[in-house]
Structure 1
Amino acid sequence: MIDRLLRRFERVIDPYGDVEAGDAEPRRVGALPPLPRETNRFIWHFAREAKWPFLALLVTGGLTGGVDALLYAAVGWVVDALGSSSPATLVADHFWLLAILAASTLLVRTLVLFAASVLEQQVIVPSLYNRIRWQSYRRLMDQSYTFFQNDFAGRVAQKVQQVGEATGDFIVTTLQTFWSFVTFAVLTVAILGAMDPWMGLVLLVWAAGYGWIVRTLLPRIRRAGRESAEARSVMSGRVVDSFTNILAVKLFDPGRRQDAFVLDGFRRFVDAIRATTRAITAVRTAVAVLNGFMMTAIGALALHSWTAGTTTTGDVATALGLVLRLNQMSGWMMFNINGLVRNYGTVQDAVATVSAQPALVDRPDAAPIRPAGGAVEFRDVTFHYGKGAGVIENFSLAIRPGEKVGLVGRSGAGKTTLVNLLLRLYDVEKGTILLDGQDIAGVTQTSLRNEIGVVTQDTSLFHRSIRDNIAYGRPEAGEDEILSAARRADALGFIGTVRDPNGRVGLDAYVGERGVKLSGGQRQRIAIARVFLKNAPVLVLDEATSALDSEVEAAIQDNLEGMMEGRTVIAIAHRLSTIAQLDRLVVIDAGRIVEEGTHAELVRRGGLYAGLWRRQSGGFLPAAAE
């Protein structure tokens, strides 16, 4: 019964909501409006997305403080009732007072606390917090390839996690905890002020001192909170980086340099936390001194009024009960304000990342690309990675539909950069790239990449099943199609032997983070199977067989040739024997074409390609990552 009731409230806020009505169709990159970059506007943006629950939380927060204040005031009424009645006549003399207090305690207080708990725990916390994370994640996924190259994946993930919790906690604490405390404090001032104006004056002075502490000392905590959030993200990023590259650490770091690198992150985090805790101690001490003076003054005034006969014993009990509760709440509230300020600093730190405007977006009028026939043209393309010179200079190359072209050159000549520009992982700085006469800058990135199948040298797989990894580019593919693609990539033999720690085998087996449970050659064959299944009209092979031994390469070479049949192929290989049979080889040096022709023509010419061919021993060309 209670579970069914609570589940109704859990559906008030859509935890996966965004500005779009749905996500069934591919959208334009950059079509989502960016999240506000200013912290207050960012918080207000999400407060408006749940305005009715937050208004209700504001009401319950005020009622909580009001009920608390009235119950403490009722203590004085009960004391006076006890003094004016005998045990035998107490109930008869004060029946309605006692009945109202009992009903308030049993019903009103319980209902207010229940409503506050439901609003916070069922309506807001699970759904709104995740809604903030979801919208932040979606904006980050629109960021360019360069954005993720320039940061730790773990640090970015930490920002997404932190910003949801910190933003939600900030709003909830403000509307519920802080407002409840303010309501209680205001009623306390009103009750005691009516009892004795001097008590009211003392509480007003106390409130002014409390406000001074909040205004003067808490900014230190806010700054320290922002710095500790950044330090926490850096520390998390370094830890994740260590785990992600664990094999390199074990092979190349006998002196534990990685430990020192991570330790530096831990030290920065501890230093930032210590700065925060020093500020917190200063605030707590100031509040303790202020509250000590307040309680002493109120106690002295209450006793003085009682000795003068101007207040009753119940009034003294009310005054002492209220100020003791106010002391307890003010310390508790200062703790929450500390959290409030730290959360604000965390949001401020995360907003700079999750609200950044994507550097590479689709044009507002971008439409899906028309189905490609495979004609590719680079027309006077220049690209420098923002350095102002180098890499690609006035590059022009036309590739006919169905033509197989190999890009050859020394490491750093710009071959992979050209492929990345074709995929629009970067925007050209000058010139145009055309696919079947369509400027790729004018079509949606999603539709462009759907027309191009890519196998790269550095193959990363998702920590999912082998089946999911093969079908990633075409999730609607049937089982027979997945098996056929795996067979053509010469992968079925090893797939049947793969077993993960949970007992899943074959296509159902999970491959570990980035595919670490598989060898480099096995990962490469899964990637090739994925491209077989995608069946795109343009095929890019960037060192596609570099991780394969000669025997396996020979086994799938015929299938690769079958996959290339009828498609435009752009292939990069330092092992020149793998591309020697292509229709045309384009030799690139310093971002420019220096030679073109078939393998035989270029060898006879005796130029750069011939030199690279001669340098190969056993068909291999020394290579470095470019």
Structure 2
Amino acid sequence: MIFRWFESLIDAFKEPADEMPPTSVGRFYLFYLRQVWPLFAAVVLVGLCVAGIEVALFGFIGRVVDLAKEVPQPGFFHRHGRELLWMAVVIVVARPIFNALHDLLVNQAIVPNLTTRIRWQNHRYVIRQSLGFFQNDYAGRIANRIMQTGGALRQSTVQVVDAIWYVVVYTGSAAALFAHANVWLALPLLAWVVFYIGALALFIPRIKQRSWLASAARSKLMGRIVDGYGNVLTLKLFAHGRREEAYVAEAMAEQNEKTQRMTRVTTVMDASITALNGLLIAGTSALALWLWSEGRVTVGAIALSTGLVIRISNMSGWIMWVVNGIFEDVGTVQDGITTISQPRLVQDRAGAMPLEVTRGAVHFHDIHFHYGKQGGVIAGLSLQVRAGEKIGVVGPSGAGKSTLVNVLLRLYDLEDGHITIDGQDIAQVTQESLRSQVGVVTQDTSLLHRSIRDNILYGRPDASEAQVVEAVRKARADEFIPTLSDGEGRAGYDALVGERGVKLSGGQRQRIAIARVLLKDAPILVLDEATSALDSEAEAAIQESLDILMQGKTVIAIAHRLSTIARMDRLVVLDKGVIVETGTHAELIAHGGLYARLWRRQTGGFVAAEDETA
């Protein structure tokens, strides 16, 4: 019960303010820690008590030594019993209670929940980034930085809190105890503090910088490894095993070299602090013995000072490694910030409303988009798609066909012009409501590494089993789904499809994608090269499913295979980002322009001649 209470002190999945995390390390830490500051205040207070009790133990040792010097007398416990009992209560009761409280706060409340909250909030922000963000980085590196940053931030903060209070309480209390015995006894400790702080100030900035470089190299290595695993079929098909090994080995060698440079600094720092600690122990012990020989301190003061400086020496070694770990973690956080704290290029406008589609008319008004490059991809394009109209968009590679789809879905923001759906500017509505009203079947159908049922339900998560089965039937996927199974014995709708759907053929993946879009039942449909990856037989089999899918919808279909869109209500021919022709298939063939030339290339001279004669 007590564990659950402490574990409930932080809500790991608390909804954050949807804002970009700060880009500076200090403000990035503050951004997350201010959400749970009362717990860290409690850890500081409890840590102060724990450190104070530890120092008090050494004071007890010195006092016990002085008491033991007395000539044994029958009334010893009567005279000192209350003092000894108080010592026993502190050691047996208070010390375990405060240590347990510290562990509960750190291990039950902070370690799992704060780490998870940071990861959740970072993931929640990053997953809403624009498409271009993910196209410009390794998926593995992004995931690695999300996972590492939360743990590193939490761990370094807890260690800072513990280390600060141990340093302050130990050194401060020790100096006070030494000065109480004899003011000269505190001088070696004070000199040690000055040199210890100087050593940390010398080495820590170097450790921080090299830790950041090592973390960046580690993320790069992770990205290359995951990239290889994710494209293992390509690796095997091109038989470049050694080339891929060398590619990963290069990043691994870089990461190893960066880590070695970091550990060189920690080794020199360790040697320096160890030598400094040796001087502290030897100097304090020698001074205590000399002061005792002069009759200025008691034997208890020798036991207190010697025991405490040995403890401080051990603690300083621990603090040195803690500080080293802290700045390794800070370097990891600094590396994570480079990915996490990036502005979103596509955002909902303030006050954006949900899109309401009543008819499904789409209008492109003088749009311009260049992907940030010099030269045009789409320059001044205007196109009106009437409600329920089915248009085909054709043109040579690079003409801007897929770009038209990307800006319609607002995967990128236009540079100029605007797009409306039923008169509503898509830049003024929420992205989720826009994409919920558009069904998309793409050339590269990527399925999630989940079950067949989960992939289909992505179209409409609240759909009933009967609706799923009906969508599957219309997509003609009911022919193969019952025959599927995975390596763990799951079959049919429960079978997992593998990463990106690799366990299915191209035609099977496309049928699942069609079933998913059928279930979504959006009023606007986009077919982006939906059958170009299939052979002619598979294309013919899927065409019937696509015909069912297009019924009653506004359709924008892009295809290199002109035969798949020849039956559309209207064809729009793009070249270099502008519309050069528009009309039906027969009209464009008769016109003899770009479309006719593309048609002849694909169908051959005889088919073209017969078509033109007709």
Superposition TM-score, scaled by structure 1 size: 0.94
Among candidates 464, 467, 492, match of residue 478 of structure 1? 464
Code of the residue aligned with 2:12 in structure 1: it is: P
Say which SS state the counterpart of residue 364 (structure 1) adopts.
coil
Q: CA deviation digits over 1:98-129, x for unaligned, max 9?
A: 21221111111001100100000011111111
Instruction: Evaluate the alpha carbon distance shift between residue 91 and residue 517 of structure 1 in structure 2; reply closer, same or farther with a 3 A threshold.
Output: farther
Structure 2 CA distance, aligned partners of 1:90 and 1:584? 109
2:9: which partner in 1?
Answer: 12
* Residue 587 (structure 2) pairs with residue 601 (structure 1): yes
1:167-186 maps to which residues of 2 (within 5 A)? Answer: 167-186=153-172
Matching residue of 1:536: 522
Structure 1, residues 307-339: CA drift from partner, whole Å, max 9, x if none? Answer: 111111111111110000000000001100001
- For residue 155 of structure 1, report the CA deviation from its aligned partner: 0.6
Q: Aligned pair 1:273/2:270, yes or no?
A: no
SS at the partner of 1:515? coil
TM superposition shift of 1:236:
0.6
Measured after TM superposition, the shift of residue 350 of structure 1 is 1.1
Name which of structure 1's ranges 557-566 and 183-192 shifts more when overlaid on structure 2. 557-566
User: What is the aligned partner in structure 2 of residue 262 from structure 1?
Assistant: 248
Contact 1:369 1:443 in 2 (8 A): yes
What is the distance in 2 between the residues matched to 1:446 and 1:183? 54
Q: SS of 1:393's equivalent?
A: strand
Match of 2:67 in 1: 81
Residues 452-501 of structure 1 show CA distances to partners (whole Å, capped at 9, x for unaligned) of: 00000111111111101011021001111111111111111211111112
- Call closer, same or farther: CA 1:372–1:419 in 2, change over 3 Å: farther
- Cα displacement string for residues 131-189 of structure 1 (whole angstroms, at most 9, x for unaligned residues): 11111111101210000000011111111111111111121111123322321121111
Match of 1:345 in 2: 331
1:405–1:569 CA contact under 8 A, matched in 2: yes
Structure-to-structure mapping, 1:190-201, within 5 angstroms? 190-201=176-187
- Partners of 1:541 and 1:618 lie apart in 2 by 25
Conserved 8 A contact 1:465-1:511: yes
User: Secondary structure of 1:493's match?
Assistant: coil
Pairs within 5 Å for 1:13-412: 13-19=10-16, 32-86=18-72, 90-254=76-240, 256-412=242-398
Q: Secondary structure at the match of 1:593?
A: strand
Q: What displacement does 1:559 show?
A: 3.0
Q: What is the one-letter code of the residue matched to 1:570?
A: I
Report what 1:494 is aligned to.
480
Conserved 8 A contact 2:451-2:493: yes
In 1, Cα distance between the equivalents of 2:45 and 2:572?
A: 72
Q: Using the TM superposition, give the Cα deviation of residue 47 of structure 1 relative to its aligned residue in structure 2, in angstroms.
A: 1.7
Aligned residue for 1:500, secondary structure, equals coil
Task: Confirm or deny: 8 A CA contact 2:235 2:241 kept in the other structure.
Answer: no
The equivalent residue for 2:609 is none
Contact (CA 8 Å) 1:64, 1:109: kept in 2 or not? yes
The CA deviation at 1:67 is: 0.8
Contact 2:394 2:572 in 1 (8 A): yes
Q: Distance in 2 between matches of 1:209 and 1:181?
A: 14
Q: Which residue identity is paired with 2:261? A: A
Q: Where does the alignment leave 5 or more consecutive residues of structure 2 unmatched?
A: 606-614
Taking only aligned residues, the RMSD between alpha carbons, in angstroms, comes to 1.5
How many Å apart are 1:516 and its aligned residue?
1.6
Aligned-partner Cα distance in 1 for 2:43–2:551? 65
Contact 2:211–2:332, Cα closer than 8 Å, also in 1: yes
User: What is aligned with 1:592?
Assistant: 578
Give 1:26's aligned residue: none
Aligned counterpart, 1:23: none
Cα pair 1:488 1:556 within 8 Å, conserved: no
1:266-307 CA-to-partner distances (Å, cap 9, x unmatched) read 111111111110110111111111111111110110110111
* CA distance in 2 between partners of 1:395 and 1:372 (Å): 25
How far residue 254 of structure 1 moved from its aligned partner, in angstroms, is: 2.9
Partner of 1:461: 447
2:514/2:545 contact within 8 Å kept:
no
2:353 counterpart letter in structure 1:
A
CA distance in 2 between counterparts of 1:284 and 1:188 reads 23
1:28 maps to what in 2?
none
Kept after mapping to 2: 8 A contact 1:81/1:90: no
Question: How far, CA to CA, are the matches of 2:209 and 2:413 in structure 1?
Answer: 38
Please tell me the residue identity of whatever aligns with 1:448.
L
Find the residue that maps to 2:69 and give its secondary structure.
helix
Mapped partners of 1:478, 1:243: distance in 2: 36
Match of 2:559 among 560, 566, 573: 573
Q: Which amino acid aligns with 1:136?
A: N
Q: Larger deviation: 74-83 or 471-480?
A: 74-83
Provide the secondary structure at the position in 1 that maps to 2:454.
helix
CA contact (8 A) 1:85 1:93 kept: no
Greater shift after overlay, 36-45 or 453-462?
36-45
- 2-structure distance, mates of 1:143, 1:376: 25
Residue pair 2:357, 2:421 contacting (<8 A) in 1 also: no
Answer whether contact 1:221 1:280 (CA < 8 A) is retained.
Answer: yes
Q: Which amino acid in 2 is paired with 1:139?
A: Y
Distance 1:87 1:594, change over 3 A: farther
Q: 1: CA distance between counterparts of 2:311 and 2:230?
A: 51
Find out whether 1:521 has 2:521 as its counterpart.
no
User: How far off its partner does 1:556 sit?
Assistant: 3.3
Instruction: Specify the SS of the correspondent of 1:491.
Output: coil
Preserved CA contact (<8 Å) 2:514 2:549: no
Residues 510-531 of structure 1, C-alpha deviation per residue, up to 9 Å, x if partnerless? 1112112212221111111111
**AA in 2 matched with 1:79:** V
The corresponding residue for 1:29 is: none
Look up the match of 2:612: none
Structure 1 residue 37, shift from structure 2 partner: 1.8
Name the counterpart of 2:489.
Answer: 503
Output the CA distance in 2 between the equivalents of 1:617 and 1:558: 22
SS at match of 2:388: coil
Deviates more, 1:169-178 or 1:473-482: 169-178
- The secondary structure found in structure 2 opposite 1:49 is helix
Q: 1: CA distance between counterparts of 2:473 and 2:340?
A: 42
Shift of 1:85: 4.2
User: Which amino acid in the other structure matches residue 536 of structure 2?
Assistant: S
Contact 2:474 2:548 in 1 (8 A): no
Note closer, same or farther for the CA distance 1:506–1:540 as it changes in structure 2 (3 Å cut): same
Q: Secondary structure at the match of 2:479?
A: helix
**C-alpha contact (below 8 Å) 1:372/1:451 kept by paired residues:** no
Counterpart-to-counterpart distance in 2, 1:492 and 1:86? 95
User: Cα offset for 1:87?
Assistant: 8.3
Structure 2 match to 1:613: 599
Counterpart contact for 1:15–1:131, Cα < 8 Å = yes
CA displacement, residues 31-84 of structure 1 (integer Å, 9 cap, x when unaligned)? x12222221111112221111110110011111211111101211111112221
Aligned residue type for 1:328 = N
Given the superposition, is the C-alpha separation of residues 65 and 577 from structure 1 closer, same or farther in structure 2, using an over 3 Å criterion?
same
- Check 1:556–1:90 CA distance in 2 against 1; reply closer, same or farther (3 A cut): same
CA contact (8 A) 1:65 1:182 kept: no
Bigger mean CA offset, 93-102 vs 603-612: 93-102
